[in-house]
Amino acid sequence: MSDERRTRALEYSEMDLKAAIAEANRCLNCKSPPCKEGCPISNDIPEFIAALAVGDLGEARRVIARKSNLPAICGRVCAHELQCEGHCVLAKTGNPIRVGLLERTIADFAFEMALPLDKVPQKTRGRMAVIGSGPAGLTVAGDLAKQGFDVTVFEAMEEPGGVLLYGIPSFRLSKKITRREIMGIEMLGVQFQTGCMIGPDLTVDQLFERGFDAIFIGTGTAIANDLQLPGRELEGIMQSSYLLRMNYLHRSGQLDREEVPIHPGDMVLVIGGGNVGVDAARTAKGLGAASVTVVYNGAQETLPALHAEYEAAVEEGVHFRFECCATEFLGDQRLEALLVSTPQGEQKIPANKILLAVGAHPANRIVSTTEGISVDADGYVVIRERPYGMTTRKGVFAGGDVVHRPATVVLAMREAKKVAVGMAEYVDAVKLLALG
């Protein structure tokens, strides 16, 4: 299925309001709601469902906004089956409340109807710089703006959004939704400076010189891990993140189709079974590859990708090979096959393109240009508990994948929320001491 058709299918499968209200009325209003416990950011799920059940969408949106700046995104890409919906009492009957769908329905309705936002306090508490505009940076920025801080986000790319925009394909998360959520954060008074790479373009020290009271690093994991097996130099082996980026550029009219590295008829293998691998596999299929197989070294039950995404991939004709470990790339200049070890012994799988999806790690552009920020042996930024999220450099904080390793949108948000509290405490304390 082409990307366009998939995106349309996704948009048409949204729940209409009447159905959403009926779904909300199935909620049992549990006394100690397990759905809320299952949500990493403790969204007040029963409260927004109760408001929706009586048709009060303004209140439902207000309740959601207390905890989340990205509900239309979380409602689409979170692993609901493991979190809110998996914890719902009704999950035992096989029919949990469809919390994700309700959350995004409320968020979409609020945007489309331009429901007014709560008033934001005057920006009098201090100036904060946020580096990176993925879910971690956007969450810190939104939370700090709501607490009365003047926030500027510095983003290396031409447009904010991080992986939400450049990584997750639009057939799962349309760019329109990401742009809308960012607009919501702008409406809180957050300013964005794009095309500015902190490190080479502007250093952390220069940000302090410009008067920022504290700085948040939410730069994610920009460097894809390599898989150094014999034959790695063969033509036809590339990173999945490269394909996703090139496909995004093509779809947004910035690149010719020929430059997207998968062509009709290609025989594609993807190594790695996380969201990145499965997204790349579905993208390759959408680009007309003759065959696409995901090679994953674990058992099917341990596949890290979202279950819904796995099912969609299978439906679209992507094959999966479990307990299958890549050992050698075979070919003569150009890739011809992958040698794998399986419980049944060694096998050769023919392929002319291989997409690697075996994790990622942070770039060190900021730490290499800044004194005093410690990283661990793998390059992840070290933070402390009090104030939460502060690095070994005073006033510089960090959170999201650059600290906790590649995880999920909502886990980056959970950490970012705690760091925003730490940053506010720190700036308040510094200003208080300066008065004394």
Ligand X SMILES: Cc1cc2nc3c(=O)[nH]c(=O)nc-3n(C[C@H](O)[C@H](O)[C@H](O)COP(=O)(O)OP(=O)(O)OC[C@H]3O[C@@H](n4cnc5c(N)ncnc54)[C@H](O)[C@@H]3O)c2cc1C
In the complex, the residues that contact ligand X under the rule CB under 6 A are 77-78, 131-137, 154-157, 162-163, 167-168, 197-199, 218-220, 222, 244, 275-276, 279, 306, 365-366, 400-402, 406-410, 412
Which residue's CB is nearer to ligand X, number 182 or number 337? 182
Going by their DSSP bridges, the two strands 334-342 and 325-332 should be labelled as antiparallel
Find the shortest distance in angstroms from Cβ 81 to ligand X.
12
Which residue's CB is nearer to ligand X, number 75 or number 137? 137
Find the shortest distance in angstroms from Cβ 186 to ligand X.
16
Which residue's CB is nearer to ligand X, number 203 or number 342? 203
Which residue's CB is nearer to ligand X, number 85 or number 401? 401
Find the shortest distance in angstroms from Cβ 303 to ligand X.
13
Find the shortest distance in angstroms from Cβ 346 to ligand X.
30
Find the shortest distance in angstroms from Cβ 432 to ligand X.
30
Which residue's CB is nearer to ligand X, number 120 or number 157? 157
Which residue's CB is nearer to ligand X, number 74 or number 88? 74
Which residue's CB is nearer to ligand X, number 58 or number 359? 359
Find the shortest distance in angstroms from Cβ 170 to ligand X.
12
Find the shortest distance in angstroms from Cβ 344 to ligand X.
31
Are the C-beta atoms of 273 and 320 separated by less than 8 Å?
yes
Find the shortest distance in angstroms from Cβ 169 to ligand X.
7
Which residue's CB is nearer to ligand X, number 22 or number 314? 314
